[in-house]
Chains A and B, each alone.
Chain A
């Protein structure tokens, strides 16, 4: 059989076609040294899930580079503070590496607490703080006692694992061990929930929240988009967790189920059908007749509001193909939304997928879809060149690989500019996809100077 693309022998098993055999590629393996991997480190994974907590300081305990390249990079929006956007670092120097950085960390925490009086200070371990053996936990404990502010250690040494998923879990552990369950809500209702794995990128949460609240559901907290640490502290009293980003956050939901007996359901607010299903799933969970009825009305209104609003886009997008190469969740959560636009997902892949993620992809995509794991930049370029989708969905590092090949691109990661979740979000989604796929600039790219 012809290989999907030419690459290293050991990498071939990381790509497969749905429908051929088991349809799950080899995954969750260390990347080949010397390739331009699109993956990041464990620290990055932890930071990305915690950073949307808006009233907190996120302090990186390491040399300046770790903070300098990662502050304020997540397009998570805030309706309140912007403390989370600050780039804070202990800026470890050579002498700290030799004599240890604990004292500097301690002083830095005290200073930041005095400057900002934050809801919490999250302290992230990095490669170097790990190797020199700084006891971050002890420093956090000591400074918490002294300041009365929540000082939360995040054991996110960058080298710990090849997969940043481990970082997501470590971020989740920080919340589970130090935040969730530390405060009681003032009032509870029979319909309290947490929205887990919703990071409010481009304001997604704000497309979902009004729908859920209109159902009569009370949102206790969001993990972690547009949240305050005190709200997450009350999350243990929820009757239900709904999980949007299942890649990063199934872990926390499962742990909360074990620890507090909170059941969870997977939701997906990308696309109209998925939004409808998710709302119904929530209503069905509570089984309250009034709520079920209300939900149907919300769905009816929601669908009516956007009816025909995407017709123009659909006309142009019908039959176009799309390749997804993302961190994890969007590899399956966006598939239906694209199908609703009349587009066909011809490739889906992730940088950090684990087996359960690829199970989700396999269940979601059609036969014949290429499934890839941890494609490095060379492989991605080869895939794009060989299969030429009409659109690539990926992140900043992949953007110009795609554009240089004349293939339209949408950044649905950090640099996403409009909210896609919920009914109105779907219209934004269609509009943004159309703005890339249908732009006349891509017709020009195939023209040569001679005009042939």
Chain B
């Protein structure tokens, strides 16, 4: 078992583009996503999202069937647009494609134009088509394309707004909130693309079943063309920022994801540089608290081997952070095939004198094999890592997507100084639970062997 493999994917560490697209759209105010494809696409995506966020998730489907595959999906898409416009009447409909409709060559833009022409006398929602072929790249690219499509369709240059645009990438609602809090502390006016912080962590209320009243508004997306600059927290979600730079001269800054001390410093410096703001005392205090937390925890974390998997910018951010903590990242895995990711890890490796196994475009089978080869004391990633952690007898620190076997995935924060503090405490406590006894002494490997021997002797008697 666990030989090398070349062709098959076993236990994927990525999802398809429409999944990323939907995650981006769930942060937009009063918008209905439609997946133009088979019913399974929207249903399984909703299934994954709803069990992770523990919120109702609404994604409509054009319900393609055999006949419509043969004759084209125009009728179904037109009908879907009509039904959504009439029944839900959102301000915007975002239509993503799927592998099915991309392969049969559906002209979504053409069909949408036709729908608009046929209903020119009605007050229709804004309709944005997004091309998200599931057989290209991964969910990370689906997110990127969606943000770009929203900006492309909506951004209009009017008057400068003195704001900065933040493209968050796929983050937990709590992390989006962390970013918003930092910007508030800095007194930096901003537009968040897209703001899932309220929509995907909603209070118990019937209104959670309606179209989102919170989230990034259409006006805000329109206004992105008037900002001072755009910071993409995920380097893999910066196409929207690049578009704004190219067409409207809005400066675009790409990454890094503000995970850990150094990356958060970089982020805050980037914000301050764009806006000419100073770092207030409160932010400096938070920074000091993170350093304090790192110092408090250092002896437990020092030279612990860690394996990390998830989206590329999360993994590279976490690699740097765990190095700051004194840990040794040994295996780093992302499902996205990405040279940017590999480059990032190489830079960190050189700087921090580590030599991790880098897996980009690989799966959890590959990661498990490498963990067996080089070892890990703890695994950081989503719920799909549970069986590996169990087999290797190491703890799994759950963060990322999806998390379906524990509560509170929407409230896990690792970003910024504050999220960093939370992370250091929780991770260190996990190590304490696992590797230290009730009086606080480290359980040595040799102790375990002695225990085993006693047990065996007992059996013989």
B206 nearest in chain A by CB position: A405
CB distance from B73 to the nearest CB of A (A): 9
Partner of B40, one of A44, A64, A97, A107: A44
Contact of B40 with A404 in the complex, beta carbons under 8 Å:
no
B420 at interface (Cβ–Cβ under 8 A)?
no
B5 at interface (Cβ–Cβ under 8 A)?
yes
CB distance from A97 to the nearest CB of B (A): 5
Stretch at the interface among B76-84, B169-177, B310-318, B340-348: B76-84
CB distance from A48 to the nearest CB of B (A): 11
Given the complex, which residues of B lie within 8 Å of A397, measured CB to CB? 43, 46-47, 50, 57
Contact of B138 with A405 in the complex, beta carbons under 8 Å:
no
Contact of B7 with A108 in the complex, beta carbons under 8 Å:
yes
Contact of A68 with B63 in the complex, beta carbons under 8 Å:
no
Contact of A41 with B38 in the complex, beta carbons under 8 Å:
yes
Q: Mark A8-30, 1 if CB is under 8 A from B, else 0.
A: 10000000000000000000001
Contact of A396 with B9 in the complex, beta carbons under 8 Å:
no
A415 at interface (Cβ–Cβ under 8 A)?
yes
Chain A residues 75 to 121 lying within 8 A of chain B, measured CB to CB, are 82, 85-94, 96-97, 104, 107-108, 111-112, 114-116
Contact of B84 with A396 in the complex, beta carbons under 8 Å:
no
- The CA-CA distance from A93 to B15 in the complex, in Å, is 13
Contact of A162 with B103 in the complex, beta carbons under 8 Å:
no
Given the complex, which residues of A lie within 8 Å of B51, measured CB to CB? 396, 415
A160 at interface (Cβ–Cβ under 8 A)?
yes
B6 at interface (Cβ–Cβ under 8 A)?
yes
- The CA-CA distance from A138 to B237 in the complex, in Å, is 41
A107 nearest in chain B by CB position: B7
Given A32-B79, A404-B208, A405-B209, A69 and B44 contact (CB-CB distance below 8 Å): yes
A128 nearest in chain B by CB position: B99
Contact of A132 with B103 in the complex, beta carbons under 8 Å:
yes
Contact of B65 with A30 in the complex, beta carbons under 8 Å:
yes
Q: Mark B42-66, 1 if CB is under 8 A from A, else 0.
A: 1111111011001111111111111
Contact of B135 with A93 in the complex, beta carbons under 8 Å:
yes
A381 at interface (Cβ–Cβ under 8 A)?
yes
Given A36-B59, A38-B43, A396-B50, A64 and B12 contact (CB-CB distance below 8 Å): yes
- The CA-CA distance from A80 to B37 in the complex, in Å, is 37
CB distance from A409 to the nearest CB of B (A): 12
A439 at interface (Cβ–Cβ under 8 A)?
no
A188 at interface (Cβ–Cβ under 8 A)?
no
Contact of B7 with A104 in the complex, beta carbons under 8 Å:
yes
Contact of A40 with B50 in the complex, beta carbons under 8 Å:
no
- The CA-CA distance from A34 to B8 in the complex, in Å, is 35
Contact of A8 with B87 in the complex, beta carbons under 8 Å:
yes
- The CA-CA distance from A107 to B133 in the complex, in Å, is 24
Kindly state the interface size class of chain B when it binds its partner. Answer: 35 or more
Partner of A34, one of B5, B54, B60: B60
Contact of A87 with B103 in the complex, beta carbons under 8 Å:
no
Q: Mark A394-417, 1 if CB is under 8 A from B, else 0.
A: 001101110111100000000100
Q: Mark A114-148, 1 if CB is under 8 A from B, else 0.
A: 11100000000011100110000000000000000
A395 nearest in chain B by CB position: B47
CB distance from B293 to the nearest CB of A (A): 34
Given the complex, which residues of A lie within 8 Å of B41, measured CB to CB? 41, 65
Given the complex, which residues of B lie within 8 Å of A34, measured CB to CB? 34, 60-62, 79-84, 87
Partner of A401, one of B8, B16, B43, B56: B56
A62 at interface (Cβ–Cβ under 8 A)?
yes
Contact of A71 with B11 in the complex, beta carbons under 8 Å:
yes
Partner of A69, one of B15, B38, B204: B15
B1 at interface (Cβ–Cβ under 8 A)?
yes
A95 nearest in chain B by CB position: B135
Residue from A68, A108, A400 with most neighbouring chain B CB atoms (10 Å): A68
B51 nearest in chain A by CB position: A396
Given the complex, which residues of B lie within 8 Å of A114, measured CB to CB? 3
B2 nearest in chain A by CB position: A115
B64 nearest in chain A by CB position: A159
B18 at interface (Cβ–Cβ under 8 A)?
yes
B205 at interface (Cβ–Cβ under 8 A)?
yes
A73 at interface (Cβ–Cβ under 8 A)?
yes
Contact of B133 with A131 in the complex, beta carbons under 8 Å:
no
A318 at interface (Cβ–Cβ under 8 A)?
no
CB distance from B400 to the nearest CB of A (A): 14
Contact of A66 with B135 in the complex, beta carbons under 8 Å:
no
B100 at interface (Cβ–Cβ under 8 A)?
yes
CB distance from A106 to the nearest CB of B (A): 9
CB distance from A154 to the nearest CB of B (A): 14
- The CA-CA distance from A62 to B9 in the complex, in Å, is 11
A3 at interface (Cβ–Cβ under 8 A)?
no
- The CA-CA distance from A63 to B99 in the complex, in Å, is 8
CB distance from B416 to the nearest CB of A (A): 28
Contact of A32 with B83 in the complex, beta carbons under 8 Å:
yes
Q: Mark B17-33, 1 if CB is under 8 A from A, else 0.
A: 11100000000000000
Residues of A within 8 A of B (CB): 8, 30-44, 59, 62-71, 73, 82, 85-94, 96-97, 104, 107-108, 111-112, 114-116, 126-128, 131-132, 158-162, 377-378, 381, 385, 396-397, 399-401, 403-406, 415, 445
Shortest Cβ-Cβ A-B pairs, 3 listed: A65-B16, A41-B40, A34-B80
Not counting A33-B63, A37-B39, A378-B88, a sample of 11 additional A-B residue pairs whose C-beta atoms are within 8 angstroms of each other reads A33-B80, A40-B39, A41-B41, A65-B16, A65-B44, A68-B19, A89-B12, A92-B99, A94-B136, A400-B50, A415-B51
26 residue pairs of the A-B complex, CB under 8 angstroms, read A31-B61, A34-B61, A34-B82, A59-B8, A64-B9, A64-B12, A65-B18, A65-B44, A66-B16, A67-B9, A67-B12, A73-B47, A86-B10, A90-B7, A111-B6, A131-B69, A131-B103, A158-B39, A158-B100, A159-B66, A161-B66, A162-B65, A377-B56, A397-B57, A400-B57, A406-B204
